[in-house]
Amino acid sequence: MASVVRRASSDSPYLRDESKITGDADEIFVPETEEDVVKTVEEHFSEGRPLTISGMRTGMCGGCVPFGGDVLTTERLNKIIGIGKDSNGYYVRLQPAVTVRELNEVLRKRSYSNLQNITEDAVGDLLNEGTDFFYPVDPTELNSSLGGNIAANSSGPRTLKYGPTRNWVRRIRAVLPDGGIIDVKRGDIKADGRLFRFKTDKRELEVPLPSYEYNMNVKNSTGIMARDGMDIVDLFIGSEGMFGVLTEADLYISKWHPLISNIFFFPDNGSAYSFVKDIQKSGMEPEFIEYFDSGSLDLIRAARKRDPKMNQMPDVPEDAGSAVFMDFPIDGALMRKYMEIGELSEANGGSLENSWCGHELRDRERFFGFRHSVPQTIFEYVAGLKGEDPEIHKMGTDMSVPLDNLDRMMDIYSETLERYGLDHVTFGHIGNGHLHVEIILKDMEDLEKAKNAYRELAVKAIELGGSPSAEHGIGKIKREYIELMYGNKGAEEIRRTKEAIDPKWILCPGNMVER
C-alpha cells in the first residue's frame, strides 16, 4: 500500500505545533507501513527534497514544523505490536504514533488480547502479574506520540524519580535518509571513542560524534548526545528526527504502585520555595515536586472564571499565593511522612488542612489536568494574541540548573525579567532544578525584550552548570542555544554528524542546526 498524499493548504495543522510558529510545505505523506516510509524517504532522497517528520505535533520548539519540502506524518503507524521480556523486565513494542495516554490505557486495562508475544509467553506472563504496569515517563502532554517522545528525549515531572525517555528505550528501528533500515537494541553498536561504524541494509556508515561534553548532571535536551563509547540507540534518542524516521521502538514499562497526589497551598512564593527546600532536606523522596507561583494560580483563577469546566478542579483557595504539588506512594511510611509534612508546611505558613489530595484514578487525573492547565492557559493566551499579531509567539524558559544553584537562578529570573519590565509566571519541576518561567507577551515590543532577556538567562543557566533547553528540545526556535552551549565548534560538529548520516540534508532540515 502506498502512502496517502494530501496537498498542504496554508491552514493545514501539519504546518504548526505547540510553539505556534507556522511553516510551509507542498505535500503531506501519510504512510501506513514501514515500506511506505521507505518508499517516501527514498524518493525524497533521490530528489534531494526536504521531508519533515510529524507525529502528534505537541512539541514546543517547531521540530515538526516544515520550512519547505514535504511532511511525513507517522499518525497511521499507531499500533501497539506486542510485549516482550528480557533481564531488565517487560517491554512494549510499538509504532511511533502510539500516544503516552494510549499506552497507559492498554496497560491499566490489561487489554493485551491482540498483542504479539515478542518473547515466549510474555503476554500471558504480564497478564498473570499481580500488579499493574505503566510507562513512567510523563511528559505532561499525554497526547504526545511516543515516537515524538523518543525524538525529543522527553521528560517531565516524574523524571525526578524515573529519569527521561532515554532510560526506558530498549530498541529502535528507523528508516535512514537514504531509505536504509537500522534495527538496534542497546548493546548492539557502541561508538569507538567518538566514532560510530555501522551497516544498514543499504550501506556502511562512519559517523563522527561531536567532541563536546554532553551535560548529564541536569535535565538536558540541548544538542545530540555525544559521549565516548556511547550506544547508538542514544544517538537517535533526542536527535529531533535529523537521522531517521522511527518506525518501531521497544519501551520498558515499570510496576505501578498506588499513589496519592497532593497539592499544598502557601501564602506566597517564598514560603512555598522554602517548604520545597525543607522537603528535599528531609529525604522523603516524593515521586516529583512541582511548583506554582502566585502568577500561575492567578492565571488558573482567571481561566476558570471564563470557563468553570476547564480543569474539573475545585476553585483555588482565595488566600493561596503559591502551591506545591507532590505524589507519594501509598505505603506503610505515608502517615509518618504526612506528620512530618504537617510540621514543615506549618513552619512555612501552610497546613495539612489547606491542601488537596486524591488517590482515586479519576482524582489523580484531575490533579494532572490542573498541572497541565497552566501551560495550556498560556498557550491559549498567546493564540489569542496571535490573532492580533501573527508574529507573536510564546516565550517560556525551559532551563535547568543543578539544585545547589537553583536559589541563585531564581533570583536571576526575577531580577532580569523585572529589569526588562516583563510580566512572567513561574511553575514546574522545581525538584529537578528546572522551572518554566513563562514570559507573558503583550505586544511586539515585549517580544523583542523577551528574546534578549531569554538569551541573558540562557547564558546564566549555562554558567551555573545547567542547560538552556532541559526538556523541550531545540527544534527551530531555539537553535541559537546550541552555539551558546557548545560554541561554533559544537554546532559545526553536529552538522558533521548530520552530514554523515544524511548527506543531502533531507530529513527535518533546520532542526538544531541549519545546514
Partner 1 sequence: MRFVVFVKQVPDTSSVGTDENGNLMREGVPSILNPYCEFALDMACRVKGEGDIISVVTMGPPQAESALFRCLELGADEAFLLTDRAFAGADVYATAKTLSAFLKKFIPDHDLLFCGRQAMDGDTAQVPAELASMMGCGQFYYTEDLVFSDGWKAVQNYYDEERECALKKGDLISVSKGETDPRLPSVADYIRASGTEIKKLDRVDIGLGTFSVGLKGSKTRITSSRPVSISRRGILTDGGDPTEAAKHIKGMVR
20-28, 41-49, 56-64, 305-313 -> range binding partner 1 (CB under 8 A): 305-313
Verify binding: residue 353, partner 1, rule CB under 8 A. yes
With CB under 8 A, what is the number of residues at the site for partner 1?
30
In the block, cell 511528559 appears at 139
Question: 37-74: buried (b, 16+ CB within 10 Å) or exposed (e) per residue?
Answer: bbbbbbebbeeeebbbbbbbbbbbbbbbbbbebbbbbb
**355 vs 469, beta carbon nearer partner 1:** 355
The answer to the question of residue 309 lying near partner 1 (CB under 8 A) is yes
Q: Interface with partner 1 includes 124 (CB under 8 A)?
A: no
318 near partner 1, rule: CB under 8 A: no
Residue 19 or 354 having the CB closest to partner 1: 354
Residue 134, interface with partner 1 (CB under 8 A)?
Answer: no
* Residue 129 interacting with partner 1 (CB under 8 A): no
For partner 1, which stretch binds (CB under 8 A), given 26-34, 35-43, 215-223, 360-368? 360-368
Shortest separation between residue 258's beta carbon and partner 1, angstroms? 11
Residues between 76 and 95 with contacts to partner 1, criterion CB under 8 A: none
Binding segment toward partner 1, per CB under 8 A, in 18-26, 65-73, 137-145, 311-319:
311-319
Residue from 354, 377, 400, 469 that binds partner 1 (CB under 8 A)?
354
Which three cell numbers mark 408?
A: 541563585
Q: What minimum distance in Å lies between the beta carbon of 169 and partner 1?
A: 26
Q: Check if the beta carbon of residue 166 is closer than 8 Å to that of residue 136.
A: no
Q: State the Cα–Cα distance between residues 240 and 261, nearest whole angstrom.
A: 32
Please state the three-class secondary structure of 92-159 as a single string: EEECCCCEHHHHHHHHHHCCCCCCEECCCCHHHHHHCCCCCEECCCCCCCCCCEHHHHHHHCCCCCCH
- Provide, rounded to whole angstroms, the least separation between the CB of residue 62 and partner 1: 35
- Please provide the DSSP assignment of 304-344 as one string: HHH-TTSSS-PPPPTT--EEEEEEEE-STTHHHHHHHHHHH
Q: Smallest distance, Å, CB 328 to partner 1?
A: 10
Which of 163, 208, 358, 402 touches partner 1 by CB under 8 A?
A: 358
Name beta bridge partners: 250: 93, 171
Tell me which residue of 114, 152, 147 sits closest to 37, measured CA to CA: 147
Task: Say if residues 402 and 218 touch (Cβ distance below 8 Å).
Answer: yes
252: enclosing H helix or E strand: strand 245-252
Q: Does 361 bind partner 1 (CB under 8 A)?
A: yes
x-or-dash pattern for partner 1, window 183-222, by CB under 8 A? ----------------------------------------
C-alpha cell at 243: 537521522
Binding segment (CB under 8 A) for partner 1, from list 153-161, 215-223, 345-353, 495-503:
345-353
Nearest residue to 97 via CA among 120, 80, 113, 110: 80
Identify residues 362-391 at the interface with partner 1 (CB under 8 A).
Answer: 362-363, 366
Q: Are 483 and 230 in contact (CB under 8 A)?
A: no
The 3-state secondary structure of 438-500 reads EEECCCHHHHHHHHHHHHHHHHHHHHCCCECECCCCCCCCCCHHHHHHHHHHHHHHHHHHHHH
The nearer residue to partner 1, 168 or 370, going by C-beta atoms, is 370
The binder of partner 1 chosen from 104, 262, 269, 294 (CB under 8 A): 262
Give the cell for residue 63.
521540530
> Which one, 190 or 336, has the nearer CB to partner 1?
336
Q: Pick from 188, 360, 415, 423 the residue near partner 1 by CB under 8 A.
A: 360
| CA-based nearest residue to 508, from 95, 63, 41, 208 | 63
Q: What are the angstrom distances between the C-alpha of 115 and each of 125, 168, 272?
A: 13, 20, 46
Which of 198, 338, 368, 420 touches partner 1 by CB under 8 A?
338
CB of 362 to partner 1, least distance (A): 6
If the CB atoms of residues 79 and 359 are measured against partner 1, the closer one turns out to be 359
For residues 113 and 415, give the distance between their C-alpha atoms in angstroms, rounded to a whole number: 57
Report the nearest approach of partner 1 to the CB of residue 320 (Å): 12
Residues 22-51 that bind partner 1 (CB under 8 A): none
Please tell me whether residue 319 binds partner 1 under the rule CB under 8 A: no
Q: Does 314 bind partner 1 (CB under 8 A)?
A: yes
Radius of gyration of the chain (CA): 23
With CB under 8 A as the contact rule, the residue among 9, 46, 88, 111 that binds partner 1 is 111
Taking the complex as a whole, the smallest distance from the CB of residue 80 to partner 1 amounts, in Å, to 15
Using CB under 8 A, which of 181, 189, 313, 383 touches partner 1? 313
In terms of CB distance, is 74 or 355 closer to partner 1? 355
Taking CB under 8 A as the rule, does residue 114 contact partner 1? no
Which long-range contacts link 2-6 to residues 24+ away (Cβ below 8 Å)? 2/36, 2/39, 3/29, 3/30, 3/31, 3/32, 3/36, 3/37, 3/39, 3/40, 3/72, 4/29, 4/30, 4/32, 5/29, 5/30, 6/30
Q: Which residues bind partner 1 (CB under 8 A)?
A: 108-111, 260, 262, 264, 308-309, 312-314, 335, 338, 341-342, 351-363, 366
